[in-house]
Amino acid sequence: MTISRWKKIAIGGGSSIVLLSALVGYFEPSLTPGTPYKDVTGVWTNCDGNTHGVDPTIIVTPELCATINANNEKEALNSFDKLVDRPVTNNQRAAFTDIIYNIGEDKFKHSTMLRLINEGKVTEACKELLKWVYAGGKKLPGLVARRQAEYTICITPN
């Protein structure tokens, strides 16, 4: 059995940005990354789960996708750093930043998860990750797997 790249990084104590990139790449893969498609909720998407300014008539180059993905990851990290006022581990930062990448800053900003982090109840906040498994009113196996991965990372010391 092979171990996923994100698992190796989490166990090995990699930086938050490296772990986030591995998570996003694992859970937001596209067979044709620059080709626009509608996600399960009907939102136009391209690259690694990008929903910002997607034109459904334009296929984006791999180079531009790499830039878009990096910018989205940095944006999610910046959101986390702006909203969280307590110290967390690299793994916790990566896990919470991955959910921001996936659900957006606004939903995270108004979540119980953020409140718990800022109250210093990070372990409880990690458990909150497991609740975010619905999209378009449906429980999705892909989100269940992603949240389990985020939770596993969140509770893994580094």
Domain extents for the chain?
A: 5-29+76-155
Question: Residue 145, Cα to own-chain centre: how many angstroms?
Answer: 12
pLDDT per residue rounded down to tens, the chain (158 residues): 344 555 555 555 556 666 777 777 667 666 677 899 898 889 999 998 899 999 999 999 999 999 999 999 999 999 999 999 999 999 999 999 999 999 999 999 999 999 999 999 999 999 999 999 999 899 999 899 999 999 999 998 87
- SS3 label, residue 85: coil
In what helix (H) or strand (E) does residue 10 lie, and over which residues does it extend?
Answer: helix 5-12
For residues 89 and 154, is the Cβ–Cβ distance under 8 A? Answer: no
CATH code for residues 5-29+76-155: 1.10.530.40
The model's pTM: 0.83
